[in-house]
Amino acid sequence: MIGSLLYLTSSRPDIMFATCLWARYETNPKASHLTAVKQIFRYLRATMTLGIWYTSSDEADHGGCKIDRKSTSGGCQFLREILVSWSSKKQSFVSLSTTEAEYISAASYCSQVLWMIS
């Protein structure tokens, strides 16, 4: 259930804190933790119209900002199945291709993971 909620936090940031709080107890849950997670699901059922909606139109530019042409990188770091950290930031320079932007983003996150391991 926590994994489903963590996936849902990309479009429902309002449940981020509660979901991450209860994810800490995923390895050794108690009855009170299950009750709290069910409370989150009841909240979601009552607020189904809320959230961030992503468009699927051709006008959506997922590669960069139309003003300065810089790509936005984002990612999540997991420790086993638990979300440890996430971030989203604009890259510091203009990429010439989508592949280059993705390569730079992957290199950045690899360095973060190596930093977390050490």
Rounded to two decimals, the pTM is: 0.42
Share of the chain above pLDDT 90, in %: 1
Residue 71 near residue 96, CB atoms below 8 Å? no
Residue 61: what pLDDT? 47
Give me 62's structure tokens: 């997922």
Classify residue 63 by burial, with Cβ atoms within 10 Å: 0-12, 13-18, 19+. Answer: middle
pLDDT confidence bin for 89, thresholds 50/70/90: confident
Residue 73: what pLDDT? 67
Using the predicted structure, report yes or no on whether residue 56 has a pLDDT greater than 60: no
Eight-state DSSP code of residue 67? T
Residue 7: what pLDDT? 81
pLDDT confidence bin for 55, thresholds 50/70/90: low
Residue 58: what pLDDT? 44
Domain borders along the chain are: 2-46, 72-117
Give me 30's structure tokens: 């108690």
Q: List CB contacts of 41: < 8 A, sequence separation 6 or more.
A: 1
Using the predicted structure, report yes or no on whether residue 54 has a pLDDT greater than 60: no
Q: Which phi and psi angles does 79 have, rounded to 5°?
A: -110, 105
